[in-house]
Amino acid sequence: MSNTVSETPAAANPNPSQIQGVKLSGERAVPVIPRDIQTDELVFNMGPQHPSTHGVLRVVLRTDGEVVLEAQPLIGNLHRSCEKILENLTYVQGLPYVDRMDYLGALNMELGLVLSVEEAGGVEVPKRAQYLRVIMCELNRVISHLFASGQFGLDMGAFTPFLYMFREREEGLKLLNMVTGGRLLYHYIRYGGVTRDITPEWAKLCLAWCDRVLAHMPEYDNLLTWNNIFLNRSCGVAILDASTCMDFAVTGPCLRAAGVKRDLRKDMPYSSYEDFDFEVPVGPFEKGVVGDSWNRYRQRLMEIHESLKIIRQAIEGLPEGETQQKKISRAWKSPPGEAYVASEAPRGEISCYFVSDGGKFPYRCRMRGPSFQNIAVLELCSRGLLIGDLIALLGSIDITLGEVDR
């Protein structure tokens, strides 16, 4: 068998070092599945146009048949040097750019930058603006989690739940559009506040939407979460345990699904998150092993419940007042200083190391993309998985390439 495989033109390039841009680390992986027949290794190029890489991620796989021996993620196809762009624009001009990092959780990206800059500049944000930020960011988080869960189902071959989740997502996007004016890239949060207030009618629509998402939850659960095939595909597959997560600085739902109770909204509350009563769900959940693909998927669904709770509380307890700090004008620039503030984005912890020299432009905005850190585990975790499991791993980590490459 090994002869025939090597003779095919498909396997004519067995030397990975000849492939441009690939440096395999050279460690031989030990596959989990016992192999009796030793066959030639294949080098696969997965992506950047592969449907399950969620963008333009390129993964070079070294496999023995279906067993992945090594997976090397190669990133940078979407690199726009967001940090350099931010250094060359005034404060107010830079804001629409951070939306483009994690385009599925754009409001949380804005918040990540704005919090750091406000901390360094000593900007007080009115309470109402803080609440509005919370409402919008949680709405965005629910939308992003709906997308991620549906996408994971799609990777597993279940198309229908993906579109059911898209239906609710679409409604949420409409809600965001009504307030921010954008459907995907919002440019809503500004230094010292937000651009636009919500109306009582919108609040009613939003609460109704929360009810609708909750009403549709059993549908997703019955169709996907508790499906036997889905459970078999994802339970115990691609386990990311707590120590690996800490080692790789994996944050967000992946870390919580591994059983670590870390949520910056609770641990280091920002933007008035301390006012809200919500739980931090952590793995393990009903099935599977702590930190496996199914638990990561389940974690996102559980977080949707908590986010909806926060939205409700924030709308009900919305204080009166300004939505924008009046002292912050368009030409506002931060006084010299530096700050590092992290916040909880849908995919993990977004933070910005912000340095100002008092000039017209920010001196340095070092953004932490949670997906960038999370995808680094792929190389370690994919060893010995089947190709189908690798897709499950990629889908359950839930990356956005705009944020990996920035």
Partner 1 sequence: MLAVVDHATPLSAHIANWLAAFVGLEPIWVFHAVGALVVATGVLALVVTPVGLGGVYLERKLAGRIQNRRGPNRVGPYGLLQTLADGVKLLSKEDIIHRGADAPLFRLAPYIVFLSAFAGFVVLPFWPGGAPANLDVGIFYFLALIGLETIGIVMAGWSSNNKWSLLGSMREVAQVISYELPLGIVAMCPVIVAGTMSLSGITEVQAGPIWKWFVFRDGIWAIVMVPAFLVFYVSGLAAAKRAPFDLPEAESELIAGFHTEYSGMRFGMFFLPEYALMLSISAVTSVLFLGGYHDPLGMSAEGGSMHGVWWWGLIWFFSKTTILFLSQLILRWTLPRLRIDQVMYLCYKVLLPIAMACLVATAFLRLFFS
Partner 2 sequence: MSWIAAFTEALGDAAENVIEEAHDEGNHPFVRVRAESIVEAARALRDKCGAEMLHQISGVDYAEHMEVIYHFTRVTRDPGFLCLKVSVPRDNPVVPTLAHEWRAANWTERETWDLLGIRFDGHPHHYRILLAEDWVGHPLRKDYEPPTEYHGIDCTQ
Partner 3 sequence: MKSFGEWASGIWNGLRTTFVGLSITIPYIFRRPYTLQYPEELPEIPDTERGLHNFKIDDCIACSQCVKICPVDCIRLAAAGKGKLARMTLFEIDYTKCLFCALCTEPCPTECILMGPTFDLVGYTRDEVIIDYADRDNPRTFSDGEEIPYPITSFARK
- Per CB under 8 A, 89 contacts partner 3: yes
- Give yes or no for a contact between 394 and 52, defined as CB atoms under 8 angstroms apart: yes
Q: In angstroms, what is the minimal distance from the CB of 366 to partner 2?
A: 4
Phi and psi dihedrals of 62, rounded to 5?
-110, 120
Q: In angstroms, what is the minimal distance from the CB of 178 to partner 3?
A: 4
DSSP 8-state symbol, 27? P
User: Which of 45, 83, 127, 196: binder of partner 3 (CB under 8 A)?
Assistant: 196
**Among partner 1, partner 3, partner 2, none, residue 247 binds (CB under 5-8 Å by kind):** partner 2
* Tally: H helices and E strands in the chain: 16, 8
Positions touching partner 1 (CB under 8 A) are 8-11, 33, 42, 44, 50-52, 65-66, 153-160, 163-164, 167, 223-224, 227, 229-230, 232-233, 386-389, 391
Q: In angstroms, what is the minimal distance from the CB of 250 to partner 3?
A: 31
- Per CB under 8 A, 217 contacts partner 3: no
User: Which of 14, 157, 181, 335: binder of partner 3 (CB under 8 A)?
Assistant: 181
- At 178, list the tokens: 């009504």
- Give yes or no for a contact between 388 and 233, defined as CB atoms under 8 angstroms apart: yes
Residues 342-361: x where in contact with partner 2 by CB under 8 A, - otherwise, as a string: x------x-x-x-x------
233: closest CA among 143, 301, 297? 297
* Alpha carbon separation from 378 to 51, 67, 221, 288, 397 (Å, rounded): 17, 15, 27, 20, 9
Show Cβ contacts of residue 355 under 8 Å, excluding neighbours closer than 6 positions.
120, 337, 338, 362, 363, 364, 365
Residue in the block written with tokens 């996007």: 173
Size of the site for partner 2 (CB under 8 A): 42
Output helix, strand, coil percentages for the chain, rounded to the nearest 5. Answer: 50, 10, 40
Binding site for partner 3 (CB under 8 A): 89, 92-97, 160, 167, 170, 174, 177-182, 185, 187, 190, 195-196, 219, 222-223, 226-229, 324, 329-330
Binding site for partner 2 (CB under 8 A): 20-21, 23, 25, 75-76, 79, 81, 83-84, 87, 119-120, 246-249, 251, 260, 262, 264, 267-268, 337-340, 342, 349, 351, 353, 355, 363-364, 366, 368, 372-373, 376, 380, 405-406
